[in-house]
């Protein structure tokens, strides 16, 4: 019999976990999800009514204004649901959520408007204390946390974040590796209550294919308890079966499929359309003040009933110009 | 006769000259994108830019506006995802990494998280993003900074991204990969490196028209000096022509 030997913990991030880890609960939840090839197509509103609750931990993919589930985000804002805990990666969705004051706790990696500078919506909510808890991570760390969840394991070791305040303000722990005896950071698995991912094409069952970079769709889709997909095109399952190597998200992960052409607008979609630069620049100006952002939210979200009314407002002509 | 150029154009040219042909470089938003594009057109056609959301080996014909946009994998060699490229860096394949920040200290530690107290910030900044990973895993990192006393500080408010941490040996002690760390700081005033022994920032070369005194009074900590401080060439006519006609024809960074 070996003696009870403990592995030294050298450092622990100060923050408690925003989202607890329950490996067997996740397995049991996944067991209950249907494995039948049923039709999962519904509207944005139906999906949010059915799957999203106040206080849920929600996640978005991809990033910035690239392949963003914007039609779902606008519907989430209109729903009035609130007090969300979020993964702070994926920028434009969060700008709208900050404006609507829907966010309480953030696993924070990077929130900014990239070349257009800092996000004033984020600053207003964080600096005022409307956001009550912020836990820091790096981009790779957040994605590796999804990877751990997707593996069904409680944590994953990494050589990122070591020695920094980023680690001090996280929930990571630094231990002595039992194999190499070097210090290594352990990242806790990150499970998402409801995930939102926008894809190029999917069938009615939720088999999804993505063009261009896949960002962290593979990892996050497998870390979600409930996964809502919006897609530019609904294709026959036969078309999925012709190129099964392109399927990033298989149907059994997916709870709802929403047909949302131009669903990433004003962002871009690989091989399909470009970012609407004049609109985005207008948003950048509006978001600099609370009043400006309120106007933007009224005009582009609250005064519209659904994604189709947004598409009508933007107009066929403009969307054609953006189409590649 | 050298043409007139803007401070941004000088920074882009200096950063571009640091990039070597036939190497891999992690490229972030803004000036590093322009510098990599210029380097590909000038002296480094086989520079492999790597973008954190999965673009590897793009030909940078049009300036990306985001680290995940389509231009980051224009005619690229691979379009994968964030795990792949971050793990590639963690395995030691990525030579250069470009970084920026609101504050830097003499050991090259960078802050891009918060000004003031973390719990009650004066200014909440964008956060680490990929910076901490780049600063942890790339062999040599290059910081691009505006040079003034509010940014070059003895003690920064928050260490987002590791430089040499508290000095010689501290990275290895923390568990970071052996032989990695800060390499250059490119500013609007000068180019700096780091002393091999003390790991403190060291002035290497001055930008056109800049004096050593100006660099000293713009730095909030004591600098070291190379034995022979050289002068950086201003942007050449060739660099400016490619920058203005090919890399940034819309003049976003002029």
Closest residue in chain B to residue A162, using alpha carbons only: B174
Give the bridge partners for A235, in sequence order: none
For a pLDDT cut of 70, what percent of chain B falls above it?
99
Is pLDDT above 90 for B211?
Answer: yes
On whether residue A35 sits in a domain, the answer given is no
% of chain A residues with pLDDT over 70:
99
Q: Provide the pLDDT for residue B2.
A: 61
In a domain, A30, yes or no: no
The reported pLDDT for the residue numbered A157 is 98
Reduced to 3 states, what is the DSSP secondary structure of residue A109? coil
Q: Provide the token pair at A228.
A: 């809502």
The side-by-side arrangement of strands in the sheet containing A183-188 is A9-12, A173-176, A183-188, A155-158
Which residue from A227, A237, A260, A242 is spatially nearest to A39, judged by alpha carbons? A237
Does A28 map to a domain?
no
Number of domains in chain A: 1
Residue A27 lies in a domain: no
Q: How confident is the model at residue B253 (pLDDT cuts 50, 70, 90)?
A: confident
pLDDT at A2: 56
Phi-psi region of A160 (alpha: psi -120 to 50; beta: other; left: phi over 0): beta
Alpha carbon B77 to its chain centroid, in Å, reads 23
pLDDT digits (tens, 9 = 90+) for A114-150: 888 899 999 999 999 999 999 999 999 999 999 999 9
What per-residue confidence (pLDDT) applies to B36?
Answer: 94
Tens-digit pLDDT profile for residues B92-133 = 999 999 999 999 999 999 999 999 999 999 999 999 999 999
SS3 A246: helix
Chain A, 40 to 69: residues with Cβ < 8 Å from chain B are: 62-67
| CA separation for the pair A293, A287 (Å, rounded) | 5
Residues A88, A112: Cα–Cα separation, whole Å: 10
Enumerate the β-bridge partners of residue B230: B205
This complex has an ipTM of: 0.97
At residue A89 the predicted structure's pLDDT band, cuts being 50, 70 and 90, is confident
Which domains can be identified in chain B, with CATH numbers?
7-247 (3.40.1080.10)
Q: What is the pLDDT of residues A26-40, one digit of tens each?
A: 999 999 999 999 999
Q: 3-class DSSP state for residue A19?
A: coil
A213 closest CB neighbour out of B80, B118, B121: B80
Please write the tens of the pLDDT for every residue from B43-98: 999 999 999 999 999 999 888 888 899 999 999 999 999 999 999 999 999 999 99
Task: Taking each helix axis as running N to C, give the angle between helix A120-128 and helix A91-99, from 0 to 180 degrees, rounded to the nearest 10.
Answer: 50
Confidence of residue B190 (pLDDT cuts 50, 70, 90): very high
The pLDDT of residue B28: 87
Q: Which residues of B touch A88 (CB under 8 A)?
A: 127
Residue A246's nearest CA partner among A210, A270, A216, A215 is A210
Q: What is chain A's length?
A: 324
> Residue A104 sits in a domain of what CATH number?
3.40.1080.10
| Beta-carbon contacts of residue A312 (< 8 Å; ≥ 6 apart) | none
The whole domain housing A73 covers: 9-20+41-322
Is A1 a member of any domain? no
**The pLDDT of residue A90 is above 90:** no
Q: Residue B3 — pLDDT band, cuts 50, 70, 90?
A: confident
Whether pTM exceeds 0.90: yes
| Nearest C-alpha neighbor of A90 from the set A216, A193, A208 | A216
User: B189-204 b/e with 16+ CB inside 10 Å = b?
Assistant: bbbbbbeeeebbbbbb
Q: Would the CB atoms of B81 and A162 count as touching at under 8 Å?
A: no
- Does A231 fall in a domain? yes
Rounded Cα distance, B37 and A215, in Å: 22
pLDDT (tens digit, 9 = 90+) per residue, A170-200?
Answer: 999 999 999 999 999 999 999 999 999 999 9
Pairing of strands B96-99, B103-104: unpaired
Contacts of B131 in chain A (CB under 8 A): 138
Residue B144: beta bridge partners? B186
What pLDDT sits at residue A285?
A: 98
| % pLDDT > 90, chain A | 95
A33 domain residue, yes or no: no
Count of C-beta atoms within a 10 Å radius of residue B24 = 22
β-strands A256-259, B96-99 pairing:
unpaired
């Amino acid at each position: 019999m070996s003696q009870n030997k403990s592995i030294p913990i050298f450092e622990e991030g100060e923050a408690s976990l925003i989202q607890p880890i329950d490996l067997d609960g996740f397995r049991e939840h996944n067991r209950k999800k249907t494995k039948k090839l049923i039709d999962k197509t519904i509207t944005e509103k139906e999906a949010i009514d059915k799957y999203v609750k106040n206080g849920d931990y929600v996640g978005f993919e991809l990033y910035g204004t690239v392949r963003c589930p914007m039609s779902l985000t606008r519907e989430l804002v209109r729903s009035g649901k609130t007090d969300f805990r979020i993964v702070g990666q994926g920028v434009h969705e969060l700008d709208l959520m900050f404006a609507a004051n829907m966010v309480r706790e953030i696993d924070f990696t990077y929130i900014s408007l990239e070349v257009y500078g800092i996000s004033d919506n984020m600053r207003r909510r964080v600096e005022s204390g409307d956001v009550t808890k912020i836990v820091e991570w790096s981009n790779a760390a957040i994605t590796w946390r999804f990877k751990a969840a997707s593996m069904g394991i409680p944590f994953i070791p990494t050589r990122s974040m070591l020695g920094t305040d980023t680690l001090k303000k996280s929930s990571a722990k630094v231990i002595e590796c039992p194999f190499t005896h070097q210090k290594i950071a352990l990242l806790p698995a990150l499970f998402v209550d409801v995930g939102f991912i926008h894809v190029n094409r999917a069938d009615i069952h939720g088999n999804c294919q993505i063009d261009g970079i896949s960002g962290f769709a593979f990892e996050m889709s497998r870390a979600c308890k409930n996964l809502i997909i919006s897609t530019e095109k609904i294709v026959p399952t036969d078309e999925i079966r012709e190129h099964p190597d392109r399927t990033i998200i298989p149907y059994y992960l997916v709870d709802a499929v929403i047909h949302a052409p131009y669903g990433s607008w004003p962002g871009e979609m690989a091989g399909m359309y470009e970012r609407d630069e004049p609109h985005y620049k207008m948003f950048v100006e509006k978001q600099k003040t609370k009043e400006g952002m309120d106007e933007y939210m009224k005009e582009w979200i609250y005064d519209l009933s659904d994604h189709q009314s947004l598409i009508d407002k933007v107009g066929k002509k403009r969307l054609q110009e953006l189409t590649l | 006769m050298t043409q007139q150029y803007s401070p941004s154009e000088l920074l882009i040219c200096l950063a571009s000259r640091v990039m070597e042909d036939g190497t891999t470089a992690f490229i972030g938003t803004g000036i590093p994108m322009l510098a990599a594009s210029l380097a590909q057109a000038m002296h480094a056609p086989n520079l492999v830019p790597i973008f954190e959301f999965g673009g590897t080996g793009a030909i940078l014909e049009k300036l990306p506006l985001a680290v995940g946009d389509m231009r980051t994998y224009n005619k690229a060699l691979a379009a994968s995802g964030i795990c792949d490229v971050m793990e590639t860096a963690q395995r030691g394949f990525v030579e250069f990494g470009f970084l920026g920040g609101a504050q830097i200290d003499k050991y090259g530690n960078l802050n891009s998280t918060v000004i003031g107290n973390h719990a009650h910030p004066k200014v909440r900044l964008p956060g680490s993003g990929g910076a901490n990973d780049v600063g942890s895993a790339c062999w040599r990192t290059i910081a691009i900074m505006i040079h003034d006393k509010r940014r070059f500080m003895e003690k920064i408010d928050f260490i987002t991204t590791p430089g040499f941490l508290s000095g010689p040996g501290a990275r290895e002690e923390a568990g970071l990969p052996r032989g990695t760390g800060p390499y250059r700081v490119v500013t609007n005033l000068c180019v700096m490196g780091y002393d091999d022994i003390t790991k403190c920032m060291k002035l290497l070369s001055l930008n056109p028209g800049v004096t050593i005194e100006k660099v000293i009074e713009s730095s909030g900590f004591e600098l070291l000096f190379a034995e022979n401080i050289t002068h950086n060439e201003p942007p050449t006519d060739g660099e400016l022509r490619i920058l203005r006609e090919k890399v940034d024809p819309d003049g976003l960074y002029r």
